[in-house]
Amino acid sequence: MRQSLRVVIMPDSKEVWVVSGSTIKEALFAASIPVSMPCGGHGRCGKCVVRVSGKVSEPDDAEIARLPRGIKDARLACVARLEGDAEITVPAASRVSIEKIVSRGRTSRRYRFCPGIMKVFLGKKDPRKMKTLLDDFEIGIEDIAINMMDASLMDSDLRMDHEWRLGLHTNATLVAAKGEIVGFEAGDTSSECYGLAVDLGTNTVVCSLVDLNSGRELGVTSTVNPQVMHGDDVISRIRFSKTSGGLEMLRHEVVHLINGLAGELAGKLGVPRNRLYVCSAVGNTAMQHILVGVSPADLGRAPYRARLTSSVETMASRSGIGGHPTCRLLMPPPIGGFVGGDLVALIISQALQTVKTPVMAIDLGTNGEIVIAAQGKMAACSTAAGPAFEGERISCGVRAIGGAVEDVKITKDKIELKTINGSKPIGLCGSGLIAGIAALLRKGVIEPNGRIKTRGEIKNKWLGKRVVHGKRGREFTFSSRPLIRLRQGDIREVQLGKAAICAGVTVLSAIAGIKLKDIKTVLVAGGFGSSLRASSIRRLGLLPPEFEGNIKVIGNSAIEGAKIFLTSCDAREEADRVVEETEHVELFSRPEFKEEFYTSMGFPEPGLRK
């Protein structure tokens, strides 16, 4: 018979109860403490190391091989099972947290302000507002009069208002949506009209609270997507969604997080949650499916089709998102396959549908998305860059947390590691990984094919001494205390991501009939892209040489697009047109993509790029 076990998690001092036989991962999930599991919790990556005091299952050989040496009580959270009461200590390196999340971006066009929701105080019927109500919302005085006594439209305070029940209908506020009266509120609440914009990323979530009377952002917050416990890429989420109860668990995790972030913002700003009338969310195709509880399973197999093919407007409460009882949830449609609403948000925020000369925009991340635009025509594709760019599946990789190395410089006799917050280095995040490989290429430690040279092949003897032989090939030591080494396999992971991006760019431009040299503006979006140095991009050949000097970093275009959708009905309509008119290019079915992919695996020869 299975018994209940008491588990204390440190240093959080959280206590949870689980049944015997549960994995440590399940106990941590119950305590809302996500840990890094790039492999999806299958015991392959060794990133979820915790320390255990108490009775747990015996480790097998596969787990022992992935545990750090010299720590007797170390276990992998994803495979170790609890057999008695226990105390679990979760070190910082195993926790899922990101301190450098890009929460803002640049935009290039202002759309007409028309959020699709407005409030009018009936005690002072502003003529301009009444005209807008009639012209844009198709609601007249007669409509207001007819609906005034509908109890289902009154808030709780108004239902108890004796003057209102006696026909004195002045001390109340009308809440209207397009062609619909959605409520009456007691008193003058016309100044309290808010919306929430959400960038629903695979690994991070950003929420922005917006005043829908002015369009002004009041506050923004961000954190890690707790779904990373099920894997660090989209395919891992899709696989998990197909398990029993998996889809509902994924939806619950992200909705719980959005509600928590919205509550945090509202609390800081003194905004009542029931004054939240619209929520706009953008993300990749799979994440948007999960948010509304629609299975993304079809995206996990050829021909990679989305079930949601049009824009979504539904009651936010149906997904579990809190706010006003009539709060709407809005999501733009995907362009096709893995080219999702986040790229549509990028297009709208940069007004690519209006450009005349060729422009290419690239959202660098686990799921790389690319669009090329010119003369009102657009083509878009997605390419699986992999999680290496975010520090995952790298032996010394960590997310962008305190202590993560974000830049590497190698001088004549010194290696300088710049870390986030200036903390003691604990590993390489995405930008640090790229900078480190770029520095080793410049110093001749790594060959253009990605191979780490032997000690004898490296001219600089001081650097040569840092090359050691590990279990899986040569490794370069960036730091001895703490030990941070770059393995041969880590370089291969970067090469795969680099090749995917380069091949996608080259093939897409060819299909669009635009030469790379004619693309004078290249926009790079996403948290990873925003943290890269131009010199590192050049040295690795992360983008074609024709783009040199034309690259502009635009930050988080997804959240900027989500805010635009929140505040402009015109932009939402334009997004629908953009999706209809954009050609979706499926790279997996094109033989030239495979050829270009293999061609792009190598790094530029010395002297060609610096």
Mean pLDDT of 60-66: 89
The listed CATH number (2.60.40.10, 1.10.600.10, 1.20.1070.10, 3.30.420.480) that belongs to domain 194-331: 3.30.420.480
**Digit-coded pLDDT (tens) for 470-488:** 888 899 999 988 889 999 9
Mean pLDDT of 236-249: 92
Please say if the pLDDT value at position 348 is more than 80. yes
3-state secondary structure of 439: helix
- In the chain, pLDDT over 90 holds for what percent of residues? 59
Average pLDDT over residues 582-589: 91
pLDDT of amino acid 100: 61
Bridge partners for 95 per DSSP: 35
- In this predicted structure, the answer to whether residue 610 has a pLDDT above a threshold of 50 is no
Q: Residues 538-559, buried b or exposed e (16+ Cβ, 10 A)?
A: bbbbbbbebbeeebebbbbbbb
Residue 342 has pLDDT above 90, yes or no: yes
Please check the confidence at residue 296 and state whether its pLDDT lies above 90. Answer: yes
Q: pLDDT at position 607, please? A: 61
Tell me the domain boundaries of the chain.
4-94, 117-186, 194-331, 350-387+494-599, 404-487
Identify the pLDDT of residue 99: 60
Q: What is the DSSP string of 230-297?
A: G-SSHHHHHHHHTSTTHHHHHHHHHHHHHHHHHHHHHHHHT--GGGEEEEEEEE-HHHHHHHTT---G
pLDDT digits 0-9 by tens, 493-551? 999 999 999 999 999 999 999 999 999 899 999 877 777 777 788 888 888 888 888 88
Q: What number is the average pLDDT over the span 301-314?
A: 90
pLDDT score recorded for residue 373: 95
232 pLDDT more than 70: yes
pTM, entire model: 0.87
Distance from C-alpha of 446 to C-alpha of 431, rounded to nearest angstrom: 18
For the record, the structure tokens of 97 come out as 């947290």
**Edge-to-edge strands, sheet with 484-487:** 467-470, 473-479, 484-487
Reply yes or no on whether the pLDDT at 569 is more than 70: yes
The dihedral formed by the CA atoms of 534, 535, 536 and 540, expressed in degrees to the nearest 10: 110
**What is residue 577's predicted lDDT score, i.e. its pLDDT?**
95
Separation between Cα atoms, residue 297 and residue 72, nearest integer Å: 41
Span 447-451, average pLDDT: 94
Pairwise CA distance, residues 203 & 214, whole Å: 31
Within this chain, domains 4-94 and 194-331 share the same CATH topology: no
pLDDT of residue 88: 94
Average pLDDT, the chain: 89
pLDDT at residue 7 in the model: 92
**In 99-119, which positions are buried (b, 16+ CB within 10 angstroms) versus exposed (e)?**
ebbbbbbebeeebeebbbbbb
- Phi/psi for 437 (5° steps) reads -65, -40
Question: Regarding the domain with residue range 350-387+494-599, which homologous superfamily does it belong to in the CATH classification?
Answer: ATPase, nucleotide binding domain (3.30.420.40)
Average confidence (pLDDT) over 267-282: 96
Rounded Cα distance between 436 and 15, Å, is 41
For residue range 363-392, list pLDDT tens digits in order: 887 778 999 999 889 999 999 877 777 777
Name the amino acid, one letter, at 440: L
* β-bridge partners, 276: 194
Fold of 4-94: Ubiquitin-like (UB roll) (3.10.20)
Per-residue pLDDT, averaged over 103-131, amounts to 86
Sheet containing 194-200: which strands, arranged edge to edge? 217-224, 204-211, 194-200, 276-283, 328-331, 312-315
